[in-house]
Structures are given as C-alpha cells and as structure tokens.
Amino acid sequence: MTAAQLREAIDLALAGDWERAHEIVQQDEADPTAAWIHAVIHKIEGDLGNAGYWYRRAGRAADHGREPHDELRDILESLA
C-alpha cells in the first residue's frame, strides 16, 4: 500500500467517512500501517474487539482511552 493511499484513508477517516477509509485499508491487510489505521477505524465504530485484533496485526498495543482523531494525526505525521 502506498503512502498516498494511507494518507487518503486517514484524511477520509478524519473527515468522518470512515466507511471509505475502511475500504482502502482493507486492500492490504499485511501492511502494518494499514492495520494500524484499520484498528483506529474500528475504535471509531466502537468495535473494540475488532480494533484489538488489528492493533495486534499492526504490532501495536491498543490504547482504547486515546482519542481516535489524535491517533490518526500521529499516523499521518509518521508518514511524512
């Protein structure tokens, strides 16, 4: 998955279109950054069990107390 696709998914999620963002990150389930975004999207949806699965796939600890939009901004910064 390209950095441009990952940024697009983040931008969509931040704009409230998490369904389209979800479609993008599902295209590459092996990419750790896509998995991290996928986790945050499930957190936004309130599906913490599924979010936990994707955090594990991303190699990250789940932080369910953290604001999803802050986490998405951090992911975006890591892509810069």
Q: Is the pLDDT of residue 80 over 90?
A: no
This model's pTM is above 0.85: yes
Q: Where are the domains of the chain?
A: 3-79
**Residue 30 is which amino acid?**
A
Residue pLDDT, tens place only, 5-43? 999 999 999 999 989 999 999 999 899 999 999 999 999
Tell me the per-residue pLDDT of 33-79, one tens digit each, with 9 for 90 and over: 999 999 999 999 999 999 999 999 999 999 888 999 999 999 999 99
SS3 for 1-58 is CCHHHHHHHHHHHHCCCHHHHHHHHCCCCCCHHHHHHHHHHHHHHCCHHHHHHHHHHH
